[in-house]
């Protein structure tokens, strides 16, 4: 039987950004005095840069983290399980996003003095040059790293502690791995629940004025496309080859995603049928995850 360690690896990414806000101790103390409060109960934070100067770098960092979270299964904090079949696509897209992050970081550094001068004008009396590092130090705080690790196996434990204790620890390692795989599978069910619930909510919110034919409330293509993307991911992230997850993937593909958003917007019967399929799926998932969706509507 093929071990999961033969089909997957662990990946860790870290994304570092410079401090963009700072607690002002003097203003905090003054504010506390003005209001008769204890200093430890108050805190005044000031932004070091205007939002527009930070936005591109923040968006690039968010894209890196989102790509990691979408394409891996949670293992432990900051570390995800990546199926080996996804490795090349994953590392290619990560490389593209990293280049965008590096470019945004370089642009932020090039505009640093301008952004700092802008902050000085906006902060006025709250500005302190001590809050701003040198450009060289700032550059060292803008970085991202990726690390790949093998899946842990009980056979990796080779410390000589005596047969009984060694077996006890190996049993713990086995149980921890089983628990994490179960949690990873549960994460996929949560993704299904979230995507289907979102689609149901959006298509049921769609409204057309019967008198004028004017659309009163619509939904975007992403209502369907998000589920279609999930169908693709389920086929690749189901590293344990869970048959119930595979059956759900096929049901989503064949029932929920058979019509695109334009067709659903144009045809009330298709919307009604799609909503019914979504409710059937959510009802079928009740054994895997709780639902607060009104399935009786």
Pick the more confident residue, 147 or 213: 147
Pick the more confident residue, 8 or 174: 8
Give the closest residue to 226 by CA, choosing from 265, 267, 261, 254: 261
Pick the range with the lowest mean pLDDT from 3-17, 47-61, 156-170.
Answer: 156-170
pLDDT at 158: 58
Residue 291 pLDDT grade (very low, low, confident, very high; cuts 50, 70, 90): very low
pLDDT at 78: 86
Give the closest residue to 6 by CA, choosing from 155, 133, 135: 155
Phi-psi region of 3 (alpha: psi -120 to 50; beta: other; left: phi over 0): beta
Pick the more confident residue, 214 or 173: 214
Report the alpha-carbon distance of residue 170 to residue 143 in Å, rounded: 37
Report the alpha-carbon distance of residue 101 to residue 138 in Å, rounded: 15
pLDDT at 296: 38
Of the chain, the percentage scoring pLDDT greater than 90 comes to: 60
pLDDT at 7: 86
CA atoms within 13 A on the CB side of 63: 17
Is residue 217 predicted with pLDDT exceeding 50? yes
Question: What single-letter DSSP state applies at residue 151?
Answer: P
Residue 290 is encoded by which pair of tokens?
């709780």
Residue 177 pLDDT grade (very low, low, confident, very high; cuts 50, 70, 90): confident
User: H helices within the chain, ranges in order?
Assistant: 25-34, 51-71, 87-110, 112-123, 135-140, 163-205, 222-237, 243-251, 261-266, 268-284
Is residue 153 predicted with pLDDT exceeding 80? no
Is residue 5 predicted with pLDDT exceeding 90? no
Q: What is the mean pLDDT of residues 136-150?
A: 93
Give the closest residue to 226 by CA, choosing from 196, 259, 254, 268: 196
pLDDT at 59: 96
pTM: 0.82
Q: What is the mean pLDDT of residues 168-172?
A: 76
Is residue 188 predicted with pLDDT exceeding 90? yes
Q: What is the mean pLDDT of residues 126-150?
A: 92
Q: What is the mean pLDDT of residues 115-120?
A: 92
Residue 200 is encoded by which pair of tokens?
């149901």
pLDDT at 2: 46
Chain centroid offset of residue 108 CA: 24
Pick the more confident residue, 292 or 145: 145
Residue 181 pLDDT grade (very low, low, confident, very high; cuts 50, 70, 90): confident
How, if at all, do strands 45-47 and 215-217 pair?
Answer: unpaired
Give the closest residue to 293 by CA, choosing from 224, 169, 192: 192
Q: What is the mean pLDDT of residues 250-262?
A: 92
Is residue 295 predicted with pLDDT exceeding 50? no
């Amino acid at each position: 039987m093929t071990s999961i360690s033969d089909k997957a690896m662990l990946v860790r990414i870290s994304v570092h950004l410079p401090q963009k806000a700072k607690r002002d101790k003097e203003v905090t103390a003054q504010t506390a005095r003005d209001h008769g409060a204890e200093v430890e109960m108050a805190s005044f934070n000031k932004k070091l840069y205007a939002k527009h100067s930070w936005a591109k770098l923040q968006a690039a960092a968010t894209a890196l983290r989102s790509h990691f979270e979408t394409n891996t299964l949670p293992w432990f904090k900051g570390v995800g399980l990546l199926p080996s079949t996804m490795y090349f696509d994953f590392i290619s897209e990560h490389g593209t996003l990293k280049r965008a992050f590096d470019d945004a970081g370089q642009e932020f550094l090039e505009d640093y003095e301008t952004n700092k001068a802008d902050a000085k004008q906006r902060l006025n009396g709250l500005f302190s040059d001590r809050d701003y590092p040198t450009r060289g130090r700032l550059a060292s705080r803008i970085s991202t790293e990726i690390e790949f690790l093998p899946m842990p196996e009980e056979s990796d434990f080779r410390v000589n502690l005596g047969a009984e204790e060694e077996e006890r620890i190996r049993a713990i390692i086995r149980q921890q791995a089983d628990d994490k795989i179960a949690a990873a599978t549960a994460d996929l069910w949560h993704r299904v629940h979230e995507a289907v619930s979102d689609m149901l909510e959006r298509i049921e919110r769609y409204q057309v004025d019967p008198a004028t034919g004017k659309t009163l409330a619509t939904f975007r293509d992403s209502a369907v496309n998000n589920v279609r993307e999930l169908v693709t991911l389920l086929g690749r992230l189901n590293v344990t080859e869970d048959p119930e997850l595979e059956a759900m993937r096929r049901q989503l593909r064949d029932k929920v995603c058979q019509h695109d958003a334009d067709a659903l917007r144009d045809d009330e019967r298709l919307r009604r049928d799609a909503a019914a399929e979504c409710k059937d799926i959510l009802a079928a998932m009740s054994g895997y995850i709780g639902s607060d969706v009104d399935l009786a509507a």
